Chain A
């Protein structure tokens, strides 16, 4: 075939006929058309040890510091007995300042004309007492003692001298009384106690370390004599320079083993029937009517 015979179009067709078919592999860059990324930082060449591997590795325990390999940091310091050694024998009280008490009365959470005790304070749902973690009731503190206006009859578990004086200056009455764990549990949530059908317990005598506090008329302890308490009342009025008001609180005091006002210990309360059942058994009756409270071994 001579060149002259063929046109450019024929020659193009001939070339295409001779060529192999186009495949996907043919559609690729020439060599060197694109470059792969170069190493920009030295840290990128990690040879299997990556930052993530370091992050996921086991860490030293909390407090472990480099240089002191044999103990954590918190073990460097000397032990101190005064810090936490007696935590299991300490008694914790919920602070109740006089200003908070006044606010409770102001806003109608507590009725000042009725005796105020653990049950009345807990019924406001403003305090959480857990007798199981050695919380033993309320501590009446003196914040707001300068202007406490209400004449109240209050029973707390601990009270400062200034708080006692402030309440008595307003014509009120303070008693400090001990609640053991079981009776405090009943007093904190009476509804739950009644619904369980439990017998209202007898309040036990305070432990040896507290009996002195509750027998002291200065603290208005519930085990001290009325006459002594009257003397102390007058004494604190003289010392602090105020006149005791003539009006006296007339509501009855609880007996030393009574948990609730008006409900004798040993009885069972039925909320459904709205009745209080007294014990019939002679032995139980004798036990609960004895005016001596049980000794507490704790």
Chain B
């Protein structure tokens, strides 16, 4: 015989993460309020949702796939078939949000040999400052023992 608890657990429908009250005030569950922290380690956890969906390039830009690229493909034109497979870049504000959801490990610049994204780790024709307020390079790796002129001669775009 099924107990009441089992019955309720079987019949329970999947609850929406946000309960919208009648007057349009959304009650957001408490676990969604904060950036998550690991209780055991005592450190911030990176948002796994973001890691599954986005990639951070070495220049600090985030890319994601086109949402809905597999939906109703047969109805859409040739240009869409082609361009929907492209990755899209996030805006500056979106990049800042995503950076806040990450840990220092993911904000580090990483170098992999034969990286398919190596062409996209550099930005071209950018006039914005190369360094941040602490003097660290914003979108390029630190070169050791090198002045700017030599660096720009051998690493033209980064």
Contacts and interface: CB of A to CB of B under 8 A. Distances in A.
B32 A72 contact: yes
Contact of B20 (A69, A77, A107): A69
Contact of B111 (A71, A76, A80, A139): A139
A126 B17 contact: no
Nearest to A160: B113
A93 B18 contact: no
B74 interface: no
A219 to B, nearest CB: 11
A60 B28 contact: yes
Contact of B144 (A73, A79, A103, A143): A103
Most B Cβ at <10 Å: residue of A62, A70, A94, A139: A62
B51 interface: yes
Nearest to B109: A95
Interface in B17-71: 17-18, 20, 26, 28, 32-35, 47, 49-55, 64-70
Interface in A109-134: 109, 126-127, 133
Contacts of A100: 143-146
Size band of the interface chain B makes with A = 35 or more
A107 B48 CA distance: 45
A70 B53 contact: no
Interface of B is mostly: loop
B55 A83 contact: yes
A37 interface: no
Interface in A151-167: 158, 160
Interface stretch (A9-17, A25-33, A84-92, A237-245): A84-92
A92 B111 contact: yes
Nearest to B48: A84
A52 interface: no
Interface size class of A (residues with CB under 8 A): 35 or more
Contact of B97 (A63, A78, A84, A139): A63
A95 B141 contact: yes
Contact of A58 (B33, B47, B100, B144): B33
A107 B69 CA distance: 54
A107 to B, nearest CB: 6
Contacts of A84: 51-52, 55
Contacts of B49: 72, 74-75
Contacts of A107: 145
Nearest to A144: B154
A95 B111 contact: yes
A62 B146 contact: no
Interface string B96-124: 01101100010000111100000000000
Contacts of B53: 74-75, 77-80, 83
B150 interface: yes
B155 interface: yes
Contact of B18 (A70, A91, A126): A70
A83 B100 contact: no
A45 B99 CA distance: 40
A102 to B, nearest CB: 10
Contacts of B54: 74, 77, 83
A113 B68 CA distance: 59
B16 interface: yes
Given A80-B65, A103-B146, 16 more contacts: A60-B32, A64-B32, A69-B20, A69-B26, A74-B53, A74-B101, A78-B66, A83-B51, A83-B53, A83-B55, A92-B112, A93-B111, A94-B111, A104-B145, A139-B111, A143-B154
Interface of B: 16-18, 20, 26, 28, 32-35, 47, 49-55, 64-70, 94, 97-98, 100-101, 105, 110-113, 141, 143-146, 150, 154-155
6 contacts: A70-B16, A71-B17, A72-B32, A92-B111, A92-B112, A95-B141
